[in-house]
């Protein structure tokens, strides 16, 4: 039974599915060697009788994916101000270094004697990431920000249990937080307590004081906040939670505003995670792979997920290198994924830090914050800016107008596409109505920003003069506005006829 | 400075508009005593210097492009067709992000939909998601799904000791806060019968691997019926290359199929980035974690693709989400799709056959060596256990120092009563001459 989307008329196909290209019997015959060993008899009773994969030529495949690629917007094509994602330029040298065969062809389970270059790289990256944020030790194992958060929350929980304190089962999270924060906390078996924000977009300190007690594991907070502003009272927040015996976790998604600006460890945070695919420009890949290293202060070092890279034998002399190897932290929360983390992203982040050095890293945050504030002041008389003060590396606007009812953030976003610009993050943070979260990053020039400002003003004018233009947008993209309701209703997740297996074997 | 395009004139003009007189003034909110710390990292390097530096680090490794490799245990040296990398390096794919705006992301979305389809076919399931971080975390998510399916009444997971040790460890790490009990793999000795004897009304999930961690193809006849009779779900961890030859886990009665997709066009890369895959039956689709892409139409009547069933995900359901996963392994799923497309129906079967024949050839030749044993009673694929007469670490050291060969995995690291047992992997990338050299080297180090 073949699953197919059902509509009144046959939908036009822009690019056929890979299965619909090719022909029966077509194959790519050039890839594999002939069998050079005596053949054993195959276990026919264990073998499948069908293998429904495409039958295409290499050129069919190449053209298909080239055409698919042309339907994507990407950083390398144009402005991509997706708030909280840090869509900065991805240096091409990073792609080269990650692919050096001495890295790409290295097996994770090889004896450490044979992988000292990789271990040395990871150890150095661990050290740099800890240093940049003011922490003691960093684990590179988490595969993405959400996994880094999970590590951090498990570490906080384990720390209290290790002290014999079993009362702490609640975790405090601002209502502006990214969805991964509460989702992560639930996965760790903790009860999420939401702390409201005040009119300035800062954590409501009175509400915080009310909720904080000795049943609290700690607090998760993003700096600068997801609203794009540096909380005026960050030290007070940390003090309040610490005084109650809780720990402070920093969601490092917004570190692009913090490099050389402040070290979370020095501010008083106990643990944080990085998003290498944001701050350190490892490419986003259409949805990953990312990397979410977790860094901790001295009292939490023993709990890190492992193994991590350690020095097994110190260097014998000045011109010698130490012997690196794997170390499991003594009270580790455990292994979070197989092997060692997304090493290919470690190589890219290492390359990025080498290119930038301290002065380059300092320049990143200063220019990211410069760009966001420039957009803020230039758009503030066209769009409502709920927190109109000096912001961090991103700024949130409201995508609606009192005199253009029926126009929503969604419509503005879709219309932006007609100008070759990827929309900002929509409807996040949840506490801002019709939120448009704009993060330009430091990569963008003043010309790009001025163009964006002009386009946003044009769209604001269109919202009043010609709202249908926004409602029917986008017009120039490969597909028009897609029907998300139909997708969920008909739920076609596979394009092949599916076997229905006979009664349970 | 590096990739920042601003000139002095730009900065001046922008600061004037903002109304501050220097970049530093943008950070007045940061407490003064913590503002502008020194970063103790080296001075910047040019691209040329960076290249030399990274090449020196890479040269300090002994990798599979220069050393014959017989090491597997969950990560494999398979041939990656050239076309894969050429497509992955198209920056329209790798510098895009999550397809939140489908109208600008049809390339990514259709590629994921095709991946989901190919994976469903391969595994014999109805639906698959966009990816997890790796095989181990896919298994952890399978446990989560089974617990949810059990509606809070089932907290036990029976897991075979023949499942990858790191996967079992990761599943436990993920569930340390949920009260889930993992049984069956403590001693390392439990047979399939021992494990099915543990089934009861508190069991949420039964987990086996196919082929198992040791490369053996266990007999799962009747297993699904026993698991389902107890009201539990069956999860099979599978190697995707094996599926070019063997019956799909769907045919064996699996409810959830997970595994590692690294073998499908993804380099070894010292352990990551890899590709967790997750496929299941229609009845469980609404409990899948992570991104799923569905087919739909657009306002112009064109076929289009979009992320669907979004209310399961963290950005919408928050603390009630099925998982916290956000960024997954999107580009690796693309790599695997390209691999499966270009290998196709005939090629994947051919890769599997080559692995089968070469592993069997190697196993037979090693079994014939004095001082070594290979148990060949159970059918096996791509990997097999060699019983050695000295510790595996010693053998591997000599293989490397004297013969420049990277030997198999020392099973005593994870299974205390498998001292002296080496897990050897042979793939289509090991020419006969290399296998013969390996056999000769083993015979020399046995003395």
Digit-coded pLDDT (tens) for A258-269: 999 999 999 999
Q: Are A113 and A325 in contact (CB under 8 A)?
A: no
Q: What is the separation, in whole angstroms, between the first and last Cα of chain B?
A: 61
Please give the pLDDT value at position B118: 97
pLDDT (average), residues B9-36: 97
Residue B182's DSSP bridge partners are B157
Q: Which of A106, A201, A393, A419 to mutate to test the interface with B (most CBs of B within 10 A)?
A: A106
- Please give the Cα distance from A175 to B268 (Å, whole number): 41
Choice between B304 and A232, residue whose per-residue pLDDT is larger = B304
Work out the pLDDT band at A505, boundaries 50, 70, 90. low
H helices then E strands: how many in chain B?
Answer: 13, 13
CA–chain centroid gap for B114, Å, is 19
Is the predicted pLDDT of residue B447 greater than 70, yes or no? no
- Please give the Cα distance from B268 to B138 (Å, whole number): 19
- Please give the Cα distance from A435 to A424 (Å, whole number): 9
- Please give the Cα distance from A184 to A154 (Å, whole number): 9
Report whether the peptide linkage leading into residue B381 is cis, meaning its omega lies within 30 degrees of zero: no
Residue A47's DSSP bridge partners are B246
Domains and CATH numbers, chain A: 93-354 (3.40.640.10), 371-489 (3.90.1150.10)
Query: Does residue B368 belong to the interface with chain A, where contact is any CB pair within 8 Å?
Result: no
Strand blocks (E) in A342-483: 395-398, 425-426, 435-438
Q: Nearest-CA distance from B184 to chain A in Å? A: 19
Digit-coded pLDDT (tens) for A452-486: 999 999 999 999 999 999 999 999 999 999 999 99
Report helix, strand or coil for B127: strand
Of the listed ranges A9-13, B9-13, B175-179, B269-273, the least confidently predicted one is A9-13
Kindly list the distances between the CA atom of residue B332 and the CA atoms of B74, B121, B263, in Å, as whole numbers in the listed order: 16, 19, 11
Please give the pLDDT value at position B87: 98
Q: Which of A285, A326, A421, A473 to mutate to test the interface with B (most CBs of B within 10 A)?
A: A285
Q: Do A37 and B432 touch (CB under 8 A)?
A: yes
Digit-coded pLDDT (tens) for A2-34: 456 667 678 899 999 999 998 999 998 889 999
Of the listed ranges B52-61, B157-166, B287-296, the least confidently predicted one is B287-296
Query: Does residue B236 belong to the interface with chain A, where contact is any CB pair within 8 Å?
Result: no
**Touching A: B residues 251-310, CB under 8 Å:** 251-253, 260, 267-274, 285, 291-306, 308-310
- Count of beta carbons in the 10 Å neighbourhood of residue A124: 19
Strands B421-425 and B383-388 come out as: antiparallel
Q: Do A11 and B117 touch (CB under 8 A)?
A: no
Digit-coded pLDDT (tens) for A210-221: 999 999 999 999
Domains and CATH numbers, chain B: 83-339 (3.40.640.10), 344-445 (3.90.1150.10)
Please give the pLDDT value at position A424: 96
Across the interface, which of B225, B301, B325 has its CB nearest the CB of A505?
B225
DSSP letters along A408-427, please?
Answer: -HHHHHHHHHTTT----EES
Q: Please, how many CA atoms are within 13 Å of residue B125, restricted to the half-sphere of its CB?
A: 31
Radius of gyration (Cα) for chain B, nearest Å? Answer: 25
- Please give the Cα distance from A368 to A441 (Å, whole number): 5
Q: Do A285 and B6 touch (CB under 8 A)?
A: no
Please give the pLDDT value at position A319: 86
Work out the pLDDT band at A503, boundaries 50, 70, 90. low
Q: Do B37 and A262 touch (CB under 8 A)?
A: yes
Please give the pLDDT value at position A2: 47
Please give the pLDDT value at position A502: 66
Given CA atoms B119, B124, B126, B128 in this order, what sign does their dihedral have?
A: negative
Across the interface, which of B24, B37, B321 has its CB nearest the CB of A134?
B37
Of the listed ranges A235-239, A494-498, B267-271, B313-317, the least confidently predicted one is B313-317
Percent pLDDT > 70 in chain A is: 98
Radius of gyration (Cα) for chain A, nearest Å? Answer: 26
DSSP letters along A102-155, please?
Answer: HHHT--TTS-GGGBHHHHHHHHHHHHHHHHHHT-SEEE---SSHHHHHHHHHHH
Q: Do A343 and B270 touch (CB under 8 A)?
A: yes
What integer best gives the mean pLDDT of chain A? 95
Residue numbers in A near B349 (CB within 8 A): 51
Q: Do B343 and A38 touch (CB under 8 A)?
A: no
Digit-coded pLDDT (tens) for A299-339: 999 999 999 999 999 999 988 999 999 999 999 999 999 99
Work out the pLDDT band at B319, boundaries 50, 70, 90. confident
Across the interface, which of B51, B318, B345 has its CB nearest the CB of A182?
B318
- Count of beta carbons in the 10 Å neighbourhood of residue B431: 14
Is the predicted pLDDT of residue B413 greater than 60, yes or no? yes
Report whether the peptide linkage leading into residue A474 is cis, meaning its omega lies within 30 degrees of zero: yes
Please give the pLDDT value at position A462: 97
Please give the pLDDT value at position B435: 98
Work out the pLDDT band at A270, boundaries 50, 70, 90. very high
CA-based nearest residue in chain A for residue B111: A68
- Please give the Cα distance from A245 to A222 (Å, whole number): 20
Measured CA angle at A417 (ends B18, A90), to 5 deg: 70
Residue (of A417, A389, A400, A387) closest to A480 by Cα position: A417
Across the interface, which of A12, A68, A343 has its CB nearest the CB of B269?
A343
Residue (of B137, B130, B133) closest to B116 by Cα position: B130
Q: Nearest-CA distance from A250 to chain B in Å? A: 15
Q: What is the separation, in whole angstroms, between the first and last Cα of chain A?
A: 21
Please give the pLDDT value at position A1: 38
Q: What is the ipTM of this complex?
A: 0.97
Please give the pLDDT value at position B146: 96
């Amino acid at each position: 039974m073949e699953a197919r989307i059902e509509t009144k008329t046959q939908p036009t196909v822009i690019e056929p599915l890979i299965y619909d290209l090719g022909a029966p019997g077509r194959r790519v015959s050039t890839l594999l060697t002939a069998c050079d060993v005596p053949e054993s008899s195959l276990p026919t009773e264990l073998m499948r009788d069908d293998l429904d994969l495409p039958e295409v030529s290499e050129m069919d495949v190449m053209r298909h994916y080239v055409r698919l690629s042309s339907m994507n917007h990407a950083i390398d094509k144009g402005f991509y101000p997706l708030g909280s994602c840090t869509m900065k330029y991805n240096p091409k040298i990073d792609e080269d270094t990650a692919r050096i065969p001495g890295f790409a062809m290295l097996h994770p389970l090889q004896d450490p004697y044979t992988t000292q270059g990789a271990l040395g790289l990871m150890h150095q990256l661990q050290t740099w990431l800890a240093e940049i944020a003011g922490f003691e030790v960093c684990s590179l194992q988490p595969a993405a920000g959400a996994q880094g958060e999970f590590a951090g929350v498990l570490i906080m929980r384990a720390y209290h249990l290790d002290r014999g304190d079993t009362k702490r089962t609640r975790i405090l999270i601002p209502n502006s937080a990214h969805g991964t924060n509460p989702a992560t906390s639930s996965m760790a078996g903790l009860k999420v307590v939401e702390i409201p924000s005040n009119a300035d977009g800062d954590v409501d300190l009175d509400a915080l004081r009310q909720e904080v007690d000795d049943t609290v594991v700690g607090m998760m907070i993003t700096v600068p906040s997801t609203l794009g502003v540096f909380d005026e009272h960050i030290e007070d927040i940390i003090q309040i939670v610490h005084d109650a015996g809780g720990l402070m976790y920093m969601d490092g998604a917004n570190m692009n505003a913090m490099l050389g600006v402040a070290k979370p460890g020095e501010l008083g945070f106990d643990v944080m995670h990085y998003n290498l695919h944001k701050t350190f420009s490892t490419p986003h890949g259409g949805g990953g792979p990312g990397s979410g290293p977790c860094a901790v202060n001295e009292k939490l070092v023993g709990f890190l997920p492992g193994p991590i890279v350690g020095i097994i034998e110190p260097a014998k002399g000045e011109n010698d290198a130490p012997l690196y190897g794997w170390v499991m932290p003594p009270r580790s929360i455990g292994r979070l994924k197989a092997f060692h983390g997304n090493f290919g992203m470690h190589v890219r982040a290492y390359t990025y830090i080498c290119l930038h050095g301290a002065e380059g890293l300092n320049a990143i945050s200063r220019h990211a914050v410069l760009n966001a504030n420039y957009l803020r002041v230039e758009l503030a008389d066209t769009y409502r800016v709920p927190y109109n003060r000096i912001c961090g590396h991103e700024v949130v606007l409201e995508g609606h107008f009192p005199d253009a009812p029926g126009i929503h953030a969604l419509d503005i976003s879709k219309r932006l596409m007609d100008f070759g610009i990827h929309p900002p993050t929509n409807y996040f943070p949840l506490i801002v109505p019709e939120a448009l979260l704009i993060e330009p990053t430091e990569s963008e020039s003043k010309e790009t920003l001025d163009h964006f400002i002009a386009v946003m003003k044009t769209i604001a004018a269109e919202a009043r003069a010609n709202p249908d233009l926004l409602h029917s947008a986008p017009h120039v993209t490969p597909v028009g506005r897609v029907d998300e309701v139909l997708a969920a209703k008909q739920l076609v997740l596979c394009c092949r006829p599916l076997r229905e297996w006979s009664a349970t074997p | 400075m590096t990739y920042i395009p601003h000139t002095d004139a730009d900065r001046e003009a922008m600061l004037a508009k903002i109304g501050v007189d220097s970049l530093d003034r943008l950070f007045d909110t940061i407490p003064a005593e913590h503002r502008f710390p020194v970063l103790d990292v080296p001075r910047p390097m040019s691209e040329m210097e960076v290249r030399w530096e990274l090449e020196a680090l890479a040269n300090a490794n002994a990798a599979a492009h220069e050393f014959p490799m017989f090491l597997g245990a969950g990560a494999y040296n398979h041939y990656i067709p050239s076309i894969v990398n050429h497509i992955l390096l198209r920056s329209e794919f790798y510098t895009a992000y999550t397809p939140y705006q489908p109208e600008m992301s049809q390339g990514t979305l259709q590629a994921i939909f095709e991946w989901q389809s190919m994976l469903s076919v391969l595994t014999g399931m109805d639906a698959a998601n966009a990816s997890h971080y790796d095989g181990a975390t896919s298994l952890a998510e399978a446990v989560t799904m089974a617990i949810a399916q059990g509606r809070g009444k089932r907290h036990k997971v029976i897991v075979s000791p023949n499942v990858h040790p790191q996967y079992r460890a990761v599943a436990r790490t993920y569930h340390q806060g949920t009260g889930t009990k993992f049984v069956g793999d403590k001693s390392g000795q439990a047979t399939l019968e021992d494990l099915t004897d543990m089934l009861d009304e508190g069991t949420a999930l039964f987990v086996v691997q196919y082929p198992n961690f040791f490369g053996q193809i266990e007999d799962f006849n009747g297993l699904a019926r026993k698991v389902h009779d107890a009201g539990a779900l069956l999860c099979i961890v599978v190697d995707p290359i094996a599926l070019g030859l063997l019956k799909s886990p769907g045919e064996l009665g699996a409810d959830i199929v997970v595994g590692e997709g690294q073998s499908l066009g993804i380099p070894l890369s010292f352990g990551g980035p890899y590709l967790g895959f997750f496929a299941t039956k229609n009845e469980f689709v609404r409990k899948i974690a992570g991104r799923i892409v569905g087919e739909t139409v657009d306002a112009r009547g064109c076929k289009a693709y979009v992320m669907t069933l979004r209310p399961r995900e963290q950005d919408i359901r928050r603390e009630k989400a099925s998982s916290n996963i956000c960024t997954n392994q999107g580009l690796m799923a693309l790599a695997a799709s390209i691999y499966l497309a270009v290998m196709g129906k005939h090629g994947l079967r051919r890769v599997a056959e080559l692995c089968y024949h070469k592993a069997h050839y190697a196993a037979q030749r090693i079994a014939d060596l004095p001082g070594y044993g290979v148990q060949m009673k159970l059918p096996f694929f791509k990997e097999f256990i060699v019983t050695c007469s000295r510790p595996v670490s010693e053998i591997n050291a000599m293989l490397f120092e004297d013969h420049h060969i990277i030997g198999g995995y020392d099973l005593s690291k994870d299974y205390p009563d498998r001292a002296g047992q080496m897990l050897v992997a042979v793939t289509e990338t090991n020419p006969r001459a290399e296998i013969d050299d390996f056999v000769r080297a083993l015979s020399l180090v046995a003395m």
